[in-house]
Copies of this chain bind each other. A is one copy, B any other.
Amino acid sequence: MRGVLMHAPGDFRVEEREDPKILRPTDAVIRLSATCVCGSDLWPYRGVEPIDGPSPIGHEYVGIVEEVGSEVTTIRPGQFVVGGFSASDNTCEICRAGYQTSCVQREWMNAMGAQAERLRVPLADGTLVATPGMPDADLIPSLLAASDVLGTGWFAATAAEAGLGKTVAVVGDGAVGLLAVLAAKQLGAERIIAMSRHEPRQKLAREFGATDIVTERGDEGVARIKELTGGLGAHSVVEAVGTQESMLQAIRSTRPGGHVGYVGVAHGVKLDGEELFFSRVHLHGGPAPVRQYLPQLIDLIWNRQIDPGKVFDLVLPLEQAAEAYRAMDDRRAVKALLTP
C-alpha cells in the first residue's frame, strides 16, 4: 500500500509500505476514508523531535473495518469507525477513570502510521467507536477531527473547567485551539477569548463561538486578558501551542484559583516552582484521552450540532502529503486532510 514515510526533517515521502495485517487477535485492520496532518507531526518535520527514518507517521483516522482478529467482539468488518490517537483497552482502571492515553496496554497510533491507505488498530474493541451507519461524505472531515484535534480541544476545555458563567481564554489558534473554542461554547462558557493575529483563524474562532479576539501575545497578551476580566484574569485558559512563551502566557492569564488546560506537546518548557506556587492556578493537561469523548462527539457530529471539520482548509490526495506538510509548516493551512 501507499503511505507516508519520514526520512529526515523536511523530507517526508509517500512510498510503498507493507500492507498491515492482523498481528494479534485483538487487532483490526481498517481501510482509511481520510487521514490528516497534525500540528504535532510538525515537530519531527521541523527537526525538533528526532527521526529514526524511514519510519511511518500519522495518528488521525476514520475508515471502514476490513478485518478483525479472533478476539474482537464488538467491532465488525464493514463498520465505519473512528478511533483515538492511542490504542487502549478501555477496561483497565486508568481507562475507566477516563485516561485512555495512559491505558496500561496503551500503544501510540503514530507507530502504526495512519497517513496511509490502510491501518492496523490494536485493541480494536477498546480503541474504535463505530458510527450509527455509513456517514454522508460531508460528515467525514468532522468525524476525522474527532480522532484528535476535536477530542484534544474538548479535553483542553474540560481540563480548564470551561463551563457555565465562565470566561475562557484560548492561547493558540491552530486546529486544537480553534476547536477548544468550539468545545468551550458547547460546555456553556459565557465569554470566550481567542488569542490570534491571523484573520482567517479569527473568523473561524468567531464561527466556533469566540466572543472576543485578542491579538497581543506574551506579557501584552496577559495584560489584555486582565483588562478584559476586571484585572483578575480568566477563569479558564486553554494552552494549545506547547512553547515556554505560550505556557507562561496561559498561566499568567489565569486568575488565582482558575484552571489551565494544556495540550500543546511541551517542548523545552521549564516551569518555575515558585511562580507556579504563587499563581494558585490548577494545571492539568497532557495527551488528550480522546477515546473518552468519542461517543459524545460522534453523536454531536452525526446530529449536525457541531461542524469541527471546518478546520480543514486544505484537502489533498495522500500522494501529495509532502505539500500538505509544507502548507502547514508555512502556516498557509490550518489543517490538511488527506484522501487515500
Interface centre among A97, A276, A287 (most CB of B within 10 A): A276
B285 touching A277, Cβ below 8 Å: yes
- Chain A 66-105 interface 0/1 with B at a Cβ cutoff of 8 Å (1 = within): 0000000000000000000000000001100111011010
CA distance A306 to B43 in the complex (A): 53
Bound: A231/B273 CA distance, A: 27
Residues of B contacting A274 with CB < 8 Å?
A: 265-267, 269
Q: How far is the CA of A232 from the CA of B99 in the complex (A)?
A: 12
**A2 sits at the interface (CB 8 A):** no
Tell me how far the C-beta of A268 lies from the nearest C-beta in chain B, rounded to whole angstroms: 7
Q: Is the CB of B287 within 8 A of A257?
A: no
Complex contact A102–B286 (CB within 8 A): no
Cβ B270 vs Cβ A272 within 8 A = yes
B256 touches A266 (CB 8 A): no
Task: Name the distance in Å between A70's Cβ and chain B's nearest Cβ.
Answer: 28
| Shortest beta-carbon distance from A60 to chain B in Å | 19
Contact B232 A93 (CB under 8 A): yes
Interface readout for A317-340 with B: 1 if CB under 8 Å, 0 if not? Answer: 000000000000000000000000
Does A208 sit within 8 A of B, measured CB to CB?
A: no
**Given known contacts A97-B257, A256-B94, A257-B94, A280 and B271 CB-to-CB distance under 8 angstroms:** no
Add 16 more A-B contacts to A247-B273, A256-B286, A267-B274 (CB < 8 A).
A97-B257, A98-B257, A101-B256, A102-B257, A242-B273, A265-B277, A267-B273, A268-B273, A269-B273, A270-B270, A270-B273, A271-B273, A276-B286, A278-B286, A280-B286, A282-B283
